[in-house]
Amino acid sequence: MLAITVQTESGPALARPSADELAALLRRIGGDDDHFAVAERIPGADQVFLQTWRDGAGPFAVEHRDGGPDQHFRAECADAGAVAEVFLAWARGTESWQTALDWRPADLYSTPGLDAQTRAAAEERARTDIRTGFWTAEEVAQGVCDAFDPDETPVTVEQARRIVAQLWQERLAEQAQWPAQTDPDRVARAFGALASQGLTALMNFTCCGSCALSEVAGERAEGDRGFVFFHYQDTAAAADGHGLSIRYGAYPDSGADSAAIGRAVTAALAAVGLPVAWDGDPTKVIEVTPLRWHKRLPSGR
């Protein structure tokens, strides 16, 4: 078994694959919803990885990184077998992978062909999603692509990835200066406590209140008497400095009271040191304000 994990677009991370499993995984890269593979060592080191991207039957774009952006290198290779050998050598810690391809310093951030106005708009969209702290870099990049009309101002996936990569590094540098525990950490602790009290507790759940209310019962665990959540728009508002709106209620068949659910939610939030504004009216949302939305980025790319 190889002391690595491999994350792909199509499924959960594969831990400690065999050489045959890794080779088979890499040979399939390029299909629909299966464009990339990212390998990290076990135990992992921050910003140390080997990854590849491929679209259809085109060449593999292979990249390795050993720390900061100045230690990020790129090569192209059309031979799936050769790419597999590079990954195997890297995973085993042998040096042959270092000379197997024509590695060159990677141009990580430029977006040739994208005009300045469109790039600025794409950066703003990416910053918005990055600030929420819930989306992986790949999800942020896809969101950037989806925000533009492909027939009028298209932003390709590769262009979006380059935009996100730069802003992601900036955010990592910012969060290195944050305190060990932030307000979003406290929110997560409160939601964990509420889940243990028989509530369906969901953070950043679906796009809006209407969708969340129609779907929350599908996430209900056995014995849950009520629910508490905040949705994408709530998260975005918190990231913009407007505080966090918390929504809650009782399941109709539970015999529970929504006001009692609200009191449980406010108690859990207050217990972790968050400021809560709610007048006890079960028809009104609970506001957590003021709030500094310093949520650390997820580790997945």
Encode pLDDT of 204-248 as tens digits: 999 999 999 999 999 999 999 999 999 999 999 999 999 999 999
Which of 127, 149, 175 is a domain's end point?
175
pLDDT of amino acid 181: 97
Q: Are residues 153 and 209 in the same domain?
A: no
| Cβ(75)–Cβ(59) below 8 Å | no
Does the global pTM surpass 0.75? no
Q: Are residues 190 and 283 in the same domain?
A: yes
Q: Are residues 153 and 237 in the same domain?
A: no
Q: Are residues 218 and 268 in the same domain?
A: yes
Which residue numbers in the chain have pLDDT < 50? none
Residue 14 maps to a domain? yes
Residue 134 maps to a domain? yes
Q: Are residues 124 and 50 in the same domain?
A: no
Residue 294 maps to a domain? no
Residue 43 maps to a domain? yes
Q: Are residues 281 and 198 in the same domain?
A: yes
pLDDT of amino acid 290: 96
Instruction: Please write the tens of the pLDDT for every residue from 137-180.
Output: 999 999 999 999 888 888 998 899 999 999 999 999 999 999 99
Which of 67, 83, 105 is a domain's end point?
105
pLDDT of amino acid 112: 87
Q: Are residues 203 and 252 in the same domain?
A: yes
Residue-range definition of the domain harbouring residue 169: 116-175
Q: How many domains does the chain have?
A: 3
pLDDT of amino acid 191: 98
Q: Are residues 223 and 275 in the same domain?
A: yes
pLDDT of amino acid 300: 53
